Amino acid sequence: MSDSQDEVRAYTIRLELVDEPGELLRALHPIADNGGNLLSIFHERGNVTPRGHIPVEVDLEATPERFDTIVEALQDENFDIIQAGAERYSEALTIVLSGHLVNTDLSDTLSNIQEATDASVTDLSLSAPAGTNDVSSARLRLATEEGKANDVLDAVRSIAAEKDLTIVEPLTAGGSA
């Protein structure tokens, strides 16, 4: 049996970065240099915080000791850390959105999903075979806390309805074929 301090866990760090070239890369160095394994980066380049900075959410895996070292290294480099903590994403679900994704601003759709839920977008694949002005589809892999998958699906359904998108949902436990 492994010691809980040696167990790799998922964490989220929310930062505010100055809008200057190279800042995102500079913020990733303390993570890589201290053994963090990146899961996803959500860089909201179009949004600005009240302080005029760019919000960035980084999901990573690390042992608790390495995570603490990563947070300290970010602080030593004077990054504005808004939140740093364990977000134990133990459930994953994959959905497909179809419709005019590009015309309805895919970035906005992803932002809405992340703001409305505790889920993190861990993978995205977009297909627009007829070009960006026609119907496209996106496969999203979402990670969320155990027991929250139905809440996440409800939020995604609402966002999809607002943007006139079709959602292909995963089969849930107890569902019939």
pLDDT in tens, 79-92: 988 788 755 555 77
DSSP per-residue letters across 62-117: E-HHHHHHHHHHHHHTT-EEEEEEE----EEEEEEEEESTTTT-HHHHHHHHHHHS
Residues 79 and 30 both lie in one domain: yes
Residues 82 and 17 both lie in one domain: yes
Evaluate whether residue 56 is within a structural domain: yes
Q: For residue 24, give the amino acid letter.
A: L
Evaluate whether residue 157 is within a structural domain: yes
pLDDT of residue 176: 42
Residues 52 and 95 both lie in one domain: no
Classify residue 163 by its DSSP letter: T
Give the count of domains, the chain: 2
Q: Does the structure show a pLDDT above 60 at 172?
A: no
The tens digit of pLDDT for each residue in 2-21 reads 456 678 888 889 888 998 99
Residues 62 and 97 both lie in one domain: no
Domain of 127, CATH number, reads 3.30.70.260
pLDDT-above-70 percentage for the chain: 90
Token output for 117: 């839920």
Task: Name the residue range of residue 82's domain.
Answer: 9-86
Distance between CA 95 and CA 137 in Å, rounded?
A: 10
Query: In degrees rounded to 5, what are phi and psi of residue 141?
Result: -105, 125
Residues 79 and 105 both lie in one domain: no
Residues 106 and 136 both lie in one domain: yes
Evaluate whether residue 174 is within a structural domain: no
The answer to whether 103 and 128 have CB atoms below 8 angstroms apart is no
Evaluate whether residue 2 is within a structural domain: no
Evaluate whether residue 71 is within a structural domain: yes
Mean pLDDT of 146-171: 89
| Nearest CA among 150, 145, 154 for reference residue 173 | 150
Evaluate whether residue 72 is within a structural domain: yes
Cα 169 → chain centroid? 19
Token output for 139: 């496969």
Q: Which of 23-27, 69-73, 87-91, 137-141 has the lowest mean pLDDT?
A: 87-91
